[in-house]
Structure 1
């Protein structure tokens, strides 16, 4: 057992404890409050009055798939030989020994959604992972978590510049629709076969790509859309609505330009990477104002790093810049804890400090959203002290 005392606890569950305690046992939070007693034999951490929060969560990155300090040897996030690759699983490229995982832990990021890049129209599946483990199988929380799709410059440049389709935005949408039409027919044929009890209907010939899309068609997982430009965002929404599918809008760089559209549709939005230079035409409108504008419109918003585009450990810095653009501090915390947990569907386990949830907890030297020199003193994942400054 682990007992944390004398902490300024921000639970992200509607209550804060100026001088609270947390009891952890068997990897779970057993109790939190201001009158939690220490059981005999429990290891004690004196938080020294420091800020204690849930582990931070990045709902869109590529950690483990694009190796740090490597060239093509560690570039395992895009299979740019076929624009339609739903059968690829991001976990098969994840390298848990990549230093980005260690950096995440040192930065207080305990949960991530990681997966393929945006080189293909359909890139494969994302997974929800803890940021600690020797092998990816032991880090997985949910897999598959979402199906990556991409619009705009990235798939166009991967193929169009090499004389292949898609060359245009029309082709990107058409290739996506074609795959979804096939997947819908495959799902219908499979359902007819299963309902027939092995009668007159024949099982459709096995198709690995279509099998991978079944959870999407059955609304078990969302499409995870890489979209920057406003028109691409609207195309992603259009296609998702045509097929009645779940969708998250990732990057959402132009989101503040079509706030009314997004508010009316209500899909979750994951904003970033916003820090850094405007490296391509699609991100010419990027601004830290986007998070506040969309949050004020009532949308469920997460802040993302797209790591390694922005180093994963700088997630709280991105939230801090959103505060500098007018976002309320509490909402900024929500954007890197409970909101991404809800968007990923893992809020029953992480995202807040509540009894029964995974004991993913960070003790900070200061407030990492407003104090640039703040750093984690302890990072705890599943009740284990994974990092100590």
Structure 2
């Protein structure tokens, strides 16, 4: 059971890492759903719930920049699998929010592991899979958990759409076919946008509504980015080529071979969400996977976030992924940024999450030790000012 937001919570004497460049021993005040104040010398106000954090780390809740929690449920493998509408390679009209179950166990794993915000969305079976959302990991109703919808349009390059539709003897059977279908869909959206504009002055020229083309117009207008599933370096470059042709915002997802073209990625300025790396080489595109990729990209100047691709890697292991990237050369501060500040910026929600600042959402985690240490754990987790760990339960409610 998730508690309601307490009115005022005072976290006292913790090692506070704000992710704004400030790190100090001090206190933090939560009022309702927001952070009200923090500093080294805050006095304990009257009428607050005091949580003693001496010797413990206090950080913003971590952010998983790419996963499938809620839409690809773990327990209900068939009944809860709503990842891919693999009946048409082009399905931009699909919306992840219509397939997310907030009672998926993955949400509980996330919040108890200190992951308070996620991007979740469709899978990569289609060339265009639909739109994803940014949402909190606590709540009973998806609509109230979502903080950005739509937050990006999922497209996929490489082996996945080839495998799905090649077996059906239909396009795309090749990488060329994937790129061609995506380009044509964007051209169709350009035409639709022109007709919409003409319809403003001439009602007879206004086209009939097309939900898929409406979504693609949002991409053309740079209201949402393409979130491009691309493992291999050549697929990454195809995604970039198309984004540049149409003047689109782009987020490179997975980016498994990104270390091979780090300078090019930095040159074009597109961010990368890297992972999952805490898996085996389950398919040919993962042949050269390595935790070194994140550090190489960050050093080149690419804005990088980490992902679990849950349930590929369990979502609660996001801090472990950051630690393993650090082990392979990613500086500690960049490792923290890859699961806080950077994903918040990439997802377009940095005004609410990713740092500890007055006015931001009270997504605060108190860790027993350094978050990247194997034996550390979140002792307290707050989402929107509500304590979700330790879990609160109604009288008589069983675990």
Tell me the TM-score normalised to structure 1 length: 0.97
| Match among 368, 379, 384 for residue 382 of structure 1 | 384
| Match among 348, 359, 365 for residue 368 of structure 2 | 365
**Alignment-derived partner of residue 283 in structure 2:** 280
**Alignment-derived partner of residue 352 in structure 2:** 349
**Alignment-derived partner of residue 80 in structure 2:** 74
The alignment status of 1:13 with 2:16, answered yes or no, reads no
**Alignment-derived partner of residue 103 in structure 2:** 97
The alignment status of 1:325 with 2:297, answered yes or no, reads no
Any conservation in 1 of the 2:279–2:312 contact (CA below 8 Å)? no
**How far apart, in 1, do the equivalents of 2:206 and 2:335 lie?**
50
Deviation string, structure 1 residues 25-44 (Cα, Å, up to 9, x no partner) = 12111111111122211111
**How far apart, in 2, do the equivalents of 1:233 and 1:326 lie?**
23
| Match among 248, 256, 261 for residue 259 of structure 2 | 256
Structure-to-structure mapping, 1:166-177, within 5 angstroms: 166-177=172-183
Deviation string, structure 1 residues 299-346 (Cα, Å, up to 9, x no partner) = 100011111110000000000000110111111000000000011111
| Match among 168, 171, 175 for residue 165 of structure 1 | 171
What is the deviation of 1:162? 2.4
**How far apart, in 2, do the equivalents of 1:13 and 1:119 lie?**
38
**How far apart, in 1, do the equivalents of 2:120 and 2:182 lie?**
21
**How far apart, in 2, do the equivalents of 1:319 and 1:268 lie?**
17
Structure-to-structure mapping, 1:280-319, within 5 angstroms: 280-319=283-322
Q: Give the superposed CA RMSD.
A: 1.0
Deviation string, structure 1 residues 89-125 (Cα, Å, up to 9, x no partner) = 0011100001000000110000000000000000000
Deviation string, structure 1 residues 21-77 (Cα, Å, up to 9, x no partner) = 001112111111111122211111111220110000011111001111222211101
Tell me the TM-score normalised to structure 2 length: 0.95
The alignment status of 1:4 with 2:36, answered yes or no, reads no
What is the deviation of 1:202? 1.7
**How far apart, in 2, do the equivalents of 1:215 and 1:37 lie?**
48
**How far apart, in 1, do the equivalents of 2:77 and 2:48 lie?**
46
What is the deviation of 1:263? 1.3
Deviation string, structure 1 residues 141-200 (Cα, Å, up to 9, x no partner) = 000000000001111111112222110000000110111000111011101212x1x46x
> Which segments of structure 1 move beyond 2 Å, counting only runs of 4 or more?
none
Q: How many residues align?
A: 384
Structure-to-structure mapping, 1:86-235, within 5 angstroms: 86-194=92-200, 196=201, 198=202, 201-235=204-238
